[in-house]
Copies of this chain bind each other. A is one copy, B any other.
Amino acid sequence: MNKVMLIGNVGKEPVVHYYDADQAVAQVSFATTEKGYTLANGMQVPDHTDWHNLVFFRGLAKVVEKYVHKGDRLYVEGRIRYRLYDDKQGKRHNITEIYVDNMEMLTSRSGASAPTSAPASSSTPSPAETTENKDLPF
């Protein structure tokens, strides 16, 4: 088991690459913040923010491209991956990424205009705010 669950906010506009029509990859810089607290001795521990490198593949990458924007609050589930890469100068770098398997948008955008091409009809079914498995409404 290698499982990560995060609730946080998107730091800037997602970056999406298409390797072919089907193979989309989206990268999202994502902040989680741990609230500060006061120690028994009165010392104040400040808030702490971590910046995660989220990576979305295939269908999720397309959902990100369509609906996710800077500032949005998300719940994501995935796995930690550690990777080496060489930059243009041939320097080797470590990078830690979260491969996202599941996402839920927590920013409600009820009367939201769609990002790129606005839907003409107002009867359009609401934008998919959830990409989790949805099952029979028993």
Contacts and interface: CB of A to CB of B under 8 A. Distances in A.
Copy number of this protein in the oligomer? 4
Interface in A110-138: 125-126, 128-130, 132-138
A105 to B, nearest CB: 10
A42 to B, nearest CB: 6
A38 B125 contact: yes
Interface string A1-27: 111111110000000000000010100
Contact of A4 (B80, B83, B133): B80
A69 interface: no
8 contacts: A3-B5, A37-B130, A37-B134, A48-B137, A50-B79, A58-B135, A58-B136, A96-B96
